[in-house]
Amino acid sequence: MPKLSALQKKLKHVFKSGMLTNAKYVSEFERSCADFLDAENVVAVASGTAALILILKCLNLKGEVILPSFTFTSDASALLWCGITPIFADIDPKTFNLDPDLIQKKITKKTSAILATHVFGNPCEIEKIETVARKNNLKVIYDAAHAFGSAYKGRSVFRFGDASIVSFTPTKVITTAEGGLAVVKDKNLSRILQLGRNNGDSFNREEEFLGLTARLNEFSAILGIESLKILKQRLKRRLKLVKMYKKELAGVPGISFQAVAPDNFSVYKDFTILADENKFGRSRDDLLKELLKRKIECKTYFYPALHKKKICQEYSDSLLPQTDYISAHIISLPLYSHMPEKYVKRVCSTIKKLSKKLT
């Protein structure tokens, strides 16, 4: 987070003006995000989930949407809120992203879109996804909740698809406490989304369509504006720590990493290892328990995967072996930009000591 002193002038302005929402800092934050992300149209909203619900509504999507099960709950819940059936497809176990080669056979007459997540910031196989989408006349939405700053073949991931969403909750590489973005290609769609976040009302109490109360507030926008100013430098440090992790853990039997294609750039919302029990000598759950016992704060994502959750039971009709495998075998290690290098070393030496195959 930026220093409190960096926020004070703008906070004072908000207190003095009494304009807490729908005012100048939200617009300024939108412009700064568009600039940072090289994005055409950016609409700031109250959460990533709200961004997705509004995009689905404003694109008038219906029927079925194909998505990975290895993603956050709100991708499925946003679809369900909009009366759309989630159709889960499996992931590529190397990238942890939706496997584009498995999309075609999930398409039916009812399919209206593909919703693909850039998991942990790792860009999806965009060209392949968009080829299938074009062939079948489907919309493409990217869940870029983790991917603020990621790039596909040298271009911002926000240059692709019909729309993308961002989340700014505190676990992300940039936070506004709570908040999100809808990033869209079409200018007219962005105008509709601006109304949509305001209940579909163009400030004359004459709702044009069914919207949500999903505005971002000025305090969050200020936090976002000041965080953006230091983001490049924070991402650089984050990447340095990831490099250290990879170097320290290279060659540990049974430990491998999420694959990021060499011409892509991931912001590494998380640095995640895959633990193969046969080669490492311990199961993922055992390794996790031991790391937590030593106060090393690790997480398991997305576990259980969506097709195993109660809210999606009705839609879990197919086997997703790669999703099951990855969600049961990965651990996200601690990673934050001000993390001391010696902490990375401690995490890695602990993992090496816990291996039953290294002597």
The residues that touch ligand PLP, with contacts defined as CB under 6 A, are 47-49, 71-72, 74-75, 117, 143, 145-146, 167, 169, 180
**The dihedral formed by the CA atoms of 162, 181, 118 and 269, expressed in degrees to the nearest 10:** 160
Q: Assess contact for 307 and 323: CB atoms under 8 A.
A: yes
Closest residue to ligand PLP in the complex (CB): 48
Minimum CB–partner distance for residue 247 and ligand PLP (Å): 27
Least distance between ligand PLP and beta carbon 348 (Å): 26
Is the Cβ–Cβ distance between 264 and 153 less than 8 Å? yes
Q: Which is nearer to ligand PLP, 167 or 355 (CB)?
A: 167
Tokens of 241: 């720590």
In angstroms, what is the minimal distance from the CB of 278 to ligand PLP? Answer: 30
Residue listed under structure tokens 């069914």:
210
Q: How far apart are CA 146 and CA 302, in angstroms?
A: 13
Counted residue by residue, the chain has a size of 359
Cβ proximity to ligand PLP, 157 vs 252, nearer residue: 157
Alpha carbons 97 and 125: distance in angstroms, whole number: 8
Q: Smallest distance from the beta carbon of 296 to ligand PLP, in angstroms?
A: 22
Cα 166 to Cα 146, 157, 272, 318, distances in angstroms: 7, 11, 20, 29
CB of 82 to ligand PLP, least distance (A): 15
Q: Which is nearer to ligand PLP, 45 or 351 (CB)?
A: 45
Q: How far apart are CA 213 and CA 222, in angstroms?
A: 20
Q: In whole angstroms, give the CA distance from residue 87 to residue 268.
A: 27
Least Å distance, CB 75 to ligand PLP, is 6
Name the residue nearer to ligand PLP (CB basis): 71 or 198: 71
At 284, is the secondary structure helix, strand, or coil?
helix
Q: Which of 203, 205, 204, 181 is nearest to 193 (CA)?
A: 181
Please state the φ and ψ torsions of residue 349, each to the nearest 5 degrees. -70, -30
Contact assessment for residue 184 and residue 144, using Cβ atoms and an 8 Å cutoff: no
User: Smallest distance from the beta carbon of 358 to ligand PLP, in angstroms?
Assistant: 33
**Measured from the CB of residue 189, what is the shortest distance to ligand PLP in angstroms?**
19
Q: For ligand PLP, which is the closer residue by CB, 95 or 117?
A: 117
Give the nearer residue to ligand PLP in terms of CB position, either 75 or 162. Answer: 75
Rank residues 224 and 254 by Cβ distance to ligand PLP and give the closer one. Answer: 224
Helix (H, G, I), strand (E, B) or coil at 261: coil
CB atoms within 10 A of CB 94: 17
Residue number with CB closer to ligand PLP (117 or 264): 117
